[in-house]
Structure 1
Amino acid sequence: MELTGESKNGKKDKHGLKKKKDNMLSFADDKEAEESTFKLKKPTDKAVLFHARKKEDSPVKTFHSTVLAGGRVRPSASPRLDSDRESVASPWSPQPDDDDDDDDKNSDEGSAMSPSASSASSSSRSASKPVIIPSAKEIQAARRQRRAKQTQKEFISLGRDGHSSAGSTPDRYSKGEESDRSDGGDDDDDGPDDHQRRIEFAPRLKSIRERIAEKLGGSDGSLSGTDGEEQELWEETQIGKGVKRRPGEQSPSGSESSSYSCSSNSRRDRRNPKKRPAGVPKTLPPVSISMIKKRITGKLESLKEVYRARQAELRRMEGDVDSAKTSVETLEESSSERQLKFYRTMNLYAHNLVECLQEKVVEINSLELELHTLLSDQMEALTAQRRQRIKEQADRLQQLSYSKNEQSEGSANGAQTQSTEDSDIRAEDYSNIPADTQPSEEEEEQLQKRKADIMAKSRAVFSDVQDEFCDVKKILSRFEEWRGCYSESYQNAYISLCLPKLLNPIIRHQLLGWNPLMADSADFENLPWFTAVETFCHGHGHEELEHADRETLSGVIAKTVLPKITAFVELVWDPMSRQQSVCLSDVCNRLKEDYSIFEGEQTKPVKTFMEAVMRRLRSCVDEDVFIPLYPQNLLEDRSSPQRHFRDQQFWTAIKLLGNMGKFDLLLPESVLKELMLDKLLNRYLMITLSSQTLSNSGDQACRIIADSLPPSWLKEQDVCLPQLQNFKNHLVQKVHTFCKQQPPEDPNTRSAVLEVLQVLSKIRCNDSIMTLAAKYHYEDLIYTHQLLNQEAE
């Protein structure tokens, strides 16, 4: 690369090279002049070093000249040489002042020649001056002085923007300082010297935008749109300068204004093709008929697609319009005023009904509590009397058994007792089950009188209330009208879930005189409320309707009738009473079969009822079952009062066992087996059965025990339950005893054995039946009476 400066008149310079007419900076003459270089002579007082900063991403590489000893120029890589030269040769940038007279002349002649030519001529003149090379000592002294000044920061650096930053050093110098400090102050030649660093003497080159803004006097915002174009124009100009020209082309060192104008014109021509001159030919791509047809077809398909989208949107809008019209017609026909009036009337009615029931429920609770307390006191009195009588009799017989001094008196008392209780003994021989404890006639009369007073008070509860607020039928008619006219809002209000709680006070008032423990009590299904609720849920013809109210009747019974039954179980029910237990179990089984109260997931009222029943049965087994133990000689005497009392308590326990079996399928099977088999049968009854002191009544007791067991436990069973093993062993031992005392062929023996085998068949002891039949040759009894056919039982 060489830097040629030529004058306008075409004379040869001092090196013998011919100067061209136009002065320009050429990169293409490097290859033509192989060894010829441009030697630049600079004044002794100024050593100007052109050092270009490297661009990381710029692919264009230029060179800079370094002044060597003897005025020779050394080629050196510099990525910003063109930029620096342009900044020197720019017509808007200020020219550095030289102390030389030739520079003054060049500045005076700037009006006649271009800035590029003037800069080239000044370079050629400065090259003719000799360059003084300092000695090594001066260079070392200058380096030390430079480092000292850099350390103290007593120099003024010139930034790219042309402003000085006093007291600070640019980043490019700070790196050099760090490298110098890291060297530890050694005066070697490894670090960059003054002539190897670039010193900028001119302010930063203003952009084209700023120049135009200064000339036009406008604001920066007015040219904001051309900022990108200016940047591209400047890059193209710099690249054009760096590209090597051919020998016949114009050097890039020519007039910058002409180059800028040509570039700007070509840029405008490319961006504004309409303003292109008519004489400039424009190259167009070849066009064929297939291409035109393809474009037209594509455009047609695009328009068709848009048309189809618009048609679909039109159809959707038409559908919306039709839907809106239908809604308007529906709203116009629905008479919102009538609907609003109905809702307001229904809201007022429901509010008044709730207030009325809230006031009356206090009186209903009071009357119900008074009646339950009356019945509970009667039950507690009877239970206490029974327990006291059993305790006194047991104490008396216990003293009679172990008192030798009073043996004769005891026999007389026993005879008297036997004479006074002959009717009871005969009743025992006939039924063997003691009768229920009943109150005396005076107590029953007093009870009925107080109960009548309570019922008289109950009739006055709703005496001051209109029928539409206390009659279940009229109340449900209001909600039935709502369900028929506005079913959607009726369902959204969950009326079917609210009705059981709403009707609860009125139904409890009607159930006040109903007693589920009495057979002569009126059935709850005959009360007025039941008929009204059943008609509301199932229709007049009891047909199943397609709405949620078909479960309302079950809900009313579960939340009203079942709590009433639970209260009677907790306060009034006596598990020892056969009549009360049978009535209670019948009502519960009817609720289970007809209204599915005890099926599926157990509700809170159902759980409360079951817990109350299990609690009463446990307390009865623990507190009321008592079978005394006496010496064998007293029990073998049929006329002894001890045996009579023992047998009475034994049959009382069997009666309780039968009462428990009535609650099969209502209570959990595990709880019922524990109470009936583990506690009552194996703990109390089996001791008496094993004593062999029941004579002929023992067979009847075993049959009653087998009949008391729930059928669900023995259904489809081939083996005996584990809890019945002791009972089975007792029956088998009884058959062996019969066959040992009398021949097996004796008709009396066969009759007695048949009764025992039938009991074994009921408790599903088929293996024991086959064993006994094979041993004593009773196979004919098995097939005659179908002892192994469990389903026939």
Structure 2
Amino acid sequence: MTGMKENSDEDPESEPDDHEKRIPFTPKPQTLRQRMAEETTTRNEETSEESQEDENPDIWEQQQMRKAVKITEGGNIDLAHSSEFQTVKKFDTSILFPPVNLEIIKKQLNTRLTLLQDTHRSHLREYEKYIQDVKSSKSTIQNLENSTSQALNFKFYKSMKIYVENLIDCLNEKIINIQEIESSMHALLLKQAMAFMKRRQDELKHESTYLQQLSCKAETSTSGSLTTDEKTQWILQEIESRRAQRRQARALSGNCDHQEGISSDDELSSADMIDFQKSHGDILQDLKKIFEDVQDDFCKIQNILLKFQQWREKFPDSYYEAFISLCIPKLLNPLIRVQLIDWNPLKFDSIGLKQMPWFISVEEFMDSSMEDSNRHSSDKKILSAIINKTIIPRLTDFVEFIWDPLSTSQTRSLITHCRMILEHSTCENEVSKGKQDLLSSIVLRMKKAIEDDIFIPLYPKSAVENKTSPHSKFQERQFWSGLKLFGNILLWNELLPDDTLQELGLVKLLNRYLIIVLLNATPGPDVVKKCSQITAYLPEKWFKNSAIRTPIPQLENFIQFLLQSAHKLSRSEFRDEVKEIIIIMVKIKALKQAESFIEEHHLDHLKSVIKEV
């Protein structure tokens, strides 16, 4: 240690005078090698900074290395003691550690393994996500490389958007004119229908009043003439004039088997006809002007559907995702209404819906849709939606305000159109509602006709025995008019429920009006003819089932009248009419009553009629 101190005292004297920092050589906690490295690094930095002042750095380094070796020889002992002391202190055996066994180690390893597996799975998910991102990026790159087709697609969608916007703007502008012309045509037809109805009811009232006055005059006095006011006289002359014209027309056509009262009596006077045709022509002229300033692509249904057909063929996914099948009926509604303005479903020669241009265009559009996918079935509902939204409301208006149930020609034409329309109505909720509204309107209109238009007066037998008397003629006309309505009601047997028709035709009309006239008539060929006509109007499907051996309950009164008439005729000279009555009873399934009558009157030759059933 003394040597070390002496050497250390000599060191500063041997150092150059220009060194200001004294180098420490006292041992420190760091190892000697670390201290040498630090000193060397520090000295190198100083040397680099003062390279111009110090010209012999290698000599100085050698001197320092020799001094370090000397210090190491004397310091190893101290270092050894210090290391031993630290080691003993670090591993003190007095410290207690927790017990360790195989289960604890195994548990820790499993926990560690679980954590590693979770981490691995997380990495796998991230890897898969990165793989998908790479694929998506490649696909995007490829789509971008094909930017030409994308530009064309964008151009098509943009042009389609502009076209639809222009189409909607055009229709919104024209819809007001369409509604005005619709209202004008509806008002014209309504005015005509109301004129016919009012004329019929007024003439019925005046003619009935005249006959009532005639009866009162005959009861009070047998002499003198009946005076009537000028209006009643003029009305009666008008009635007779029209009847004479119809009789003349029937004679020319060879129709001799006609009953007075069956005619609809809907002839217009020449002045009224001219006014009607002029107003009708003015409306049609206004109709032509609606779209005269519009291109065909915005007013022709065929051209509009062609635009959407191109969309469906080029980009079917976006076409069906946009629910175009729900939009087309709304877009076409104004244009279809234009074609329906001059359509009158009550005229026997009116064009059928299937022959209309809009119907043909819509059917072609639906037929051109592909059939290899279920989603394309949405286009198949376009026609039913149009019928429900546009056609049925139009038809319902005709039924409620213009249709005359006493007109057989109007009724047959209306039934034809209704049958076609209801066949194309699917079972959707909206379509079902429209259908029910239409059928309800038909039933209500027929009820109103029974209440307002059926009037069959009853006169004393002395007044009606003479078939040429005005009372007899008037009663006959009114009976056949009621029987005509009876037949018109039962023409709806394929469209309306059976119980509804039986309530209207059998209960409200046959049992309330027609039977009463028959009961007050003298049995004979004329009565049998009327009964045969009543039976002919009854739908065959009501009696077609051979298993049914009992009549319809609502026909019970009619059957009892047939039995009474048969009993009376069997005791008179009209024995041939008895067979006709039996045939009628067999047709309406009154088999037990017919068998009882045959046995009671020993008419064995008529049993074959029952066996044929």
Give runs of aligned pairs for residues 58-73 of structure 1, distance below 5 A: none
Deviation at 1:513, TM superposition (A): 1.4
What amino acid maps onto 1:767 in structure 2? K
Q: Which residue of 1 aligns with 2:301?
A: 472
1:431 aligns with 2:246: no
Within 2, Cα distance between the matches of 1:286 and 1:602?
81
Query: Is 1:551 paired with 2:376?
Result: no
Which amino acid in structure 2 is aligned with residue 324 of structure 1? S
CA offset digits 1:208-232 (Å, max 9, x no partner): xxxxxxxxxxxxxxxxxxxxxxxxx
Amino acid at match of 2:362: V
Correspondences of 1:585-596 after superposition (within 5 Å): 585-593=415-423, 595-596=424-425
2:346 is the counterpart of 1:517: yes
2:486 is matched with 657
Q: Which residue of 2 aligns with 1:343?
A: 157
| 1:12-31 superposed Cα distances (whole Å, 9 cap, x missing partner) | xxxxxxxxxxxxxxxxxxxx
Distance 1:329 1:473, change over 3 A: farther
Residue 398 of structure 1 corresponds to 212
Aligned equivalents of 1:383, 1:446: Cα separation in 2: 18
**1:471-510 to 2 correspondences below 5 Å:** 471-510=300-339
Change over 3 Å in CA distance of 1:394–1:320 after alignment to 2: same
Q: Do residues 724 (structure 1) and 552 (structure 2) align?
A: no
Alignment of 1:621-660 (within 5 A): 621-660=450-489
From 364, 372, 387, give the equivalent of 2:201. Answer: 387
Matched residue, 1:352:
166
TM-superposed deviation, 1:308: 7.6
Q: Give, in angstroms, the shift of residue 712 of structure 1.
A: 5.1
C-alpha distance 320-282 of structure 1, shift in aligned 2 (>3 A)? closer
Shift of 1:463: 0.3
Closer, same or farther: CA 602–547 of 1 in aligned 2, 3 Å: closer
Deviation string 1:26-46 (CA, Å, 9 cap, x unpaired) is: xxxxxxxxxxxxxxxxxxxxx
Q: What is the deviation of 1:702?
A: 1.6
Aligned with residue 582 of structure 1, among 412, 415, 423:
412
Note closer, same or farther for the CA distance 1:533–1:280 as it changes in structure 2 (3 Å cut).
Answer: closer
In structure 2, do the counterparts of structure 1 residues 430 and 307 end up closer, same or farther at CA, with 3 Å as the change threshold? same
1:277 aligns with 2:92: yes
Instruction: State which of 548, 560, 570 in structure 2 corresponds to 1:739.
Output: 570
Q: Which one of the candidate residues 762, 771, 776 is aligned to 2:587?
A: 762
Partner residue, 1:328: 140
Does the 8 A contact of 1:534 with 1:553 survive in 2?
Answer: yes
Cα pair 1:598 1:666 within 8 Å, conserved:
no
Alignment check: 8 A CA contact 2:309 2:365 kept? yes
Q: TM-score, normalised by structure 1?
A: 0.56
* SS of residue in 1 equivalent to 2:161: helix
Distance (Å, rounded) in 1 between the aligned partners of 2:372 and 2:345: 29
Distance in 2, matches of 1:687 and 1:585, equals 30
In structure 2, C-alpha distance between the alignment counterparts of 1:585 and 1:274, rounded to whole Å: 116
Letter of the 2:591 counterpart: N
Return the letter of the residue paired with 1:343. Answer: Y
Give the equivalent residue in structure 2 for 1:440: 268
Q: Distance in 1 between matches of 2:325 and 2:174?
A: 23
Distance 1:626 1:460 in 2: 47
Aligned mates of 1:638, 1:589 — CA distance in 2: 42
Residue 613 (structure 1) aligns with: 442
Name the aligned partner's letter for residue 317 of structure 2: E
> Over alpha carbons, which structure has the higher Rg?
1
Aligned AA (1:320): Q
**Structure 1, 690-699 or 510-519: larger mean CA deviation:** 690-699
Q: Does the CA-based 8 Å contact 1:657-1:676 persist in structure 2?
A: yes
Q: 1:531 corresponds to which residue?
A: 360
The structural deviation recorded for 1:781 is 4.3
**C-alpha spacing 1:284/1:401, structure 2 compared with 1 (3 Å):** closer
- What residue identity is the alignment partner of 1:313? R
Percentage identity across aligned positions? Answer: 32
Superposition deviation, residue 786 in structure 1: 5.4
CA drift of 1:685 comes to 0.8
2:35 aligned residue: none
Structure 2 gap segments, 5+ residues each: 1-87, 229-235
The superposition leaves residues 459-503 of structure 1 with CA deviations (integer Å, 9 ceiling, x where unpaired) of 111000000000001111122222233333333332212222211
Equivalences for 1:766-781 in 2 at 5 Å? 766-777=591-602, 781=606
Tell whether the 8 Å contact from 2:524 to 2:569 is kept in structure 1 after alignment. Answer: no
- 1:598–1:606 CA contact under 8 A, matched in 2: no
Instruction: Judging by fraction of residues, say which structure has more helix.
Output: 2
Mapped to 1, the partners of 2:89 and 2:612 lie a distance apart of 120
Cα separation, 2, equivalents of 1:398 and 1:660 = 30
Residue ranges of structure 1 left out of the alignment (5+ in a row): 1-272, 743-747, 789-793
Q: Between Structure 1 and Structure 2, how many residues are aligned?
A: 505
| Displacement after TM superposition at 1:656 (Å) | 0.6
Quick one: higher RCO (CA 8 Å, sep 6+), 1 or 2? 2
Secondary structure, aligned partner of 1:741: coil
Contact 2:525–2:577, Cα closer than 8 Å, also in 1: no
TM-score, normalised relative to structure 2: 0.72
Taking the aligned partners of 2:389 and 2:196, their CA distance within structure 1 comes to 31
Letter in 2 for 1:738: L
